[in-house]
Structure 1
Amino acid sequence: MGFFAFLILGLIAGAIAKAILPGRQGGGWIITLVLGVVGAILGGLIGGAIFGTGLQEFFSLTTWLLAIGGSIIVLLIYGMITKRSHR
């Protein structure tokens, strides 16, 4: 998968993760892109370690599920960090 395809995957996965999680998450589309890309990387690493698969093809269901799952994890961590800093 190319660099731009990976950025698009991260942006979409981050947006889907924000839509799945309840509540209001801060950040605009740049934060969504960054969290989505980091989440896609994390999802690929977890998928490789646990399931023996990673982010291979853009149109693969496995790729999208791993990227969205990783984005949810990263978004949860980001939410915990930003809530602590507001107190």
Structure 2
Amino acid sequence: MGGLLYSILIGAVAGWLAGKLMKGGGFGLLINIILGIVGGLVGGWLFHTLGIRLFDGVLGDLLTGVIGASVILFVAGLFKKS
């Protein structure tokens, strides 16, 4: 249960940060947080698949989540403009 709560918290912060970093601010706070949680999963999978290992601990998890959420926000933004 603690691992799930940790993942949600890190994903929420990562989504918020990614929304701040992305041009246009993303989709709003709630959607950015949800996309951050999904982005953390995507970033973790992507880095694992590519054999990339970032920092250990909270910093590495947060950086992975921000990168993954930024990718998700970028792709979602492509659909938003259509």
TM-score, normalization by structure 1: 0.78
Aligned to 1:63: 61
Please state whether the residue corresponding to 2:7 is helix, strand or coil: helix
Task: Tell me which amino acid in the other structure corresponds to 1:67.
Answer: G
Aligned to 1:33: 33
Tell me if the contact between 1:44 and 1:53 (Cα under 8 Å) persists in the aligned partners.
Answer: no
Q: Determine what percentage of the aligned residue pairs are the same residue.
A: 25
Tell me if the contact between 1:17 and 1:72 (Cα under 8 Å) persists in the aligned partners.
Answer: yes
Aligned residues: 80
RMSD: 2.0
Q: For the pair shown, which has the larger CA radius of gyration, 1 or 2?
A: 1
The answer to whether 1:17 aligns with 2:18 is yes
Identify the match of residue 70 of structure 2 among 69, 72, 75: 72
Shift of 1:62: 1.8
Runs (4+) of structure 1 exceeding 4 A deviation are none
Aligned to 1:46: 46
Task: Tell me which amino acid in the other structure corresponds to 2:65.
Answer: A
Structure 2 spans left out of the alignment, 5+ residues = none
Structure 1 spans left out of the alignment, 5+ residues = none
Shift of 1:25: 2.5
